Amino acid sequence: MLGQVIELIEKHDRFAITSHIRPDGDSLGSSLALCWILKGLGKNAEVIMRDEVPHAYTRLPGSLDVRVVEDIDREYDAVFVIECSDVTRPGIPSLADQFVVNIDHHSTTALFGNLNWIDATAAAVGEMIYNLAKAIGSRVTPEIAGCVYAALLTDTGSFHFSNTTERTFKIASELVRNGAQPAKLSQAIFYNYPFAKIQLVGSVLSTLQRDESGRIAWIRMTREAMELSGASEEDSDNIINYPLTIGDVEAVAFFREQSNSTYRISLRSKNRVNVARVAEEFGGGGHTNAAGFTIQADFDQLSLDVIKKLREAVESAPQSNGREIKPR
Ligand code: 5GP
Ligand code: MN
């Protein structure tokens, strides 16, 4: 609950903020914004992550101060865990021994924190952090505004997804008034790719296939394709959106080969096709329209299994007139 979070912040001094491995725009934007808020209140605060800040987010205010850690190595009064389904998602082993504040907008999140503040109506955790800033009486600085804007921008798919509401634009408007620079942030996040990424996009898109109905499409990235392009795993993020731009396509799978015959699978869908259910059948999870899982399997069999489940999901989806594409 927000009230308890505020009370905790007011009573204590030393805080860390962390989020899931391979952080994204919402997890980083929200973490950095919260860090700025805490520092603005005169607290000791830092963002700690298991993984480095992805290139796309290195221009967010404060991102250079994110400390990459293997485990908790300092004393904190509490650790904020941003948008994680469980306490292991940050990849920080002794996190469970800390006083944990779980902040998330996924309705499926385990209540693993000592405090849990969950708001499934928030478009992004960034929106919750913005509400916290206002509730605790922080001045919304350009740094806070920019970080929250980045969280909203990325988790709404640049305001394309169905979590984009009047409230989203109202908050975005307030953020711009407080110093967030939309064009500059979009440029930093979406027009700042390394050359190798676009080469990788070309190579991965050349693997595009669809089923006979044309409603399901899939793409694959091998280790070889990654190595040939010189791209990183992060550079393959978002490639899944291209097949989803095909008008007839309702569900997409992206098979990313990791080391030792493990595949990381991303699933995306439109409307009411529930890919979270599909991911859960393979041990993962997510939202209705964006989900994923990691599995050790032979590609040929795995792809058959996943496509079969996607077909069931597409065929059993309730009809919907609007195009609803939900965020991460
Ligand atoms: P992505 O395809 O971008 O890796 O993940 C999309 C969404 O699926 C994430 O925001 C998260 O909600 C969910 N997701 C992806 N991989 C996993 C996983 O291994 N476990 C769980 N519980 N959720 C996942
Ligand atoms: Mn999010």
Tokens of 237: 């993020």
pLDDT tens digits, 100-155: 999 999 877 889 999 999 999 999 999 999 999 999 999 999 999 999 999 999 99
Q: How many domains does the chain have?
A: 2
For range 294-316, the mean pLDDT: 97
Query: Could you give the 3-state DSSP secondary structure of residue 229?
Result: helix
Same domain flag for 243 and 262: yes
Residue nearest ligand 1's atom 16 by CA: 292
Q: Average pLDDT in the 183-202 region? A: 96
Q: In what order do the strands lie in the sheet with 251-257?
A: 209-210, 216-221, 251-257, 262-269, 290-296, 285-287
Domain boundary among 128, 158, 190: 190
Task: Assess if residue 325 is contained within a domain.
Answer: no
Test site for ligand 1: of 238, 244, 266, most ligand atoms within 8 A of the Cβ: 266
**Residue 219 tokens, joined:** 């793409």
User: What predicted TM-score, i.e. pTM, was given to this entire model?
Assistant: 0.90
Same domain, 74 and 218: no
Same domain, 145 and 203: no
Question: What pLDDT, on the 0 to 100 scale, is given for residue 324?
Answer: 52
User: Is residue 321 assigned to a domain?
Assistant: no
pLDDT tens, residue by residue, 273-298: 999 999 999 999 888 899 999 999 99
Among residues 204, 244, 242, the alpha carbon closest in space to that of 222 is found at 204
- 162: domain CATH number? 3.90.1640.10
Going from the Cα of 196 to the center of ligand 2, the distance in angstroms, rounded, reads 27
pLDDT of 260 strictly over 90: no
Same domain, 177 and 207: no
Domain boundary among 190, 225, 254: 190
Contacting residues for 321 by C-beta, under 8 A, at least 6 apart: none
| 44 and 125 co-located in one domain | yes
- How many C-beta atoms lie closer than 10 Å to residue 93's C-beta? 12
Taking the CA of residue 293 as reference, the ligand 1 atom at the shortest distance is: 19
Q: Is residue 323 part of a domain?
A: no
Contact criterion met (CB below 8 Å) for 219 and 204: yes
Residue 321 has pLDDT above 60, yes or no: no
Give the structural domain span for 43. Answer: 2-190
Number of residues that this document lists for the chain: 328
In tens, the pLDDT along 222-232 reads 999 999 999 99
> Is 271 found in the same domain as 248?
yes
Whether residue 238 is found in the same domain as residue 180: no
Give the residue, by CA position, lying nearest to ligand 1 atom 22: 285
Q: Which of 190, 219, 237 is the last residue of a domain?
A: 190
Pairing of strands 14-19, 209-210: unpaired
Ligand 1 neighbourhood includes 85 CB (under 6 angstroms): yes
CB of 328 sitting under 6 A from ligand 1: yes
What's the whole-number mean pLDDT along residues 241-253?
A: 97
Q: Is the CB of 108 under 6 A from ligand 1?
A: no
Q: Considering only CA atoms, which residue is closest to atom 6 of ligand 1?
A: 291
